[in-house]
């Protein structure tokens, strides 16, 4: 069974479904042949977002990742304590 061919929206390279990076956002399916193309697109996208909305989004994302790191650190401490 043949896989569906996709075209990178940044560089135009054609690749098969299952390869590359796919992001569904804003009601659109965005396909990129590599993470570098995805990053180029996201950098460009940031320029078009309202500054206040961007600041709020960055703050929320930072909070989310900081909480994850704290949880990982706590789990690591618990594992170390169990060893002793």
Task: For 28-71, write each residue's pLDDT tens digit.
Answer: 999 999 999 999 999 999 999 999 999 999 999 999 999 999 99
**Could you identify the residue written with the tokens 């479904």?**
17
* Cα distances (Å, whole numbers) of residue 76 to 1, 23, 64, 65, 73: 45, 32, 19, 16, 5
Model confidence at 83: pLDDT above 80: no
* Exposed/middle/buried for residue 33 (C-beta within 10 Å: 0-12, 13-18, 19+): buried
* Exposed/middle/buried for residue 32 (C-beta within 10 Å: 0-12, 13-18, 19+): buried
Please write the tens of the pLDDT for every residue from 3-21: 899 999 999 999 999 899 9
What pLDDT was estimated at residue 75? 86
What pLDDT was estimated at residue 68? 96
**Could you identify the residue written with the tokens 């989310």?**
64
pLDDT band at 77 (very low <50, low <70, confident <90, very high): confident
CA distance 64 to 34: 26
């Amino acid at each position: 069974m043949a896989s569906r061919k996709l075209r990178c929206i940044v560089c135009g390279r054609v690749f098969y479904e299952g390869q590359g990076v796919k992001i569904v956002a804003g009601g659109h399916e965005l396909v990129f042949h590599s993470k570098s193309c995805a990053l180029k697109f996201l950098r460009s996208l940031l320029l078009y977002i309202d500054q206040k909305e961007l600041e709020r989004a960055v703050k929320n994302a930072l909070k989310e990742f900081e909480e994850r790191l704290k949880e990982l650190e706590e789990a690591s401490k618990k594992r170390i304590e169990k060893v002793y």
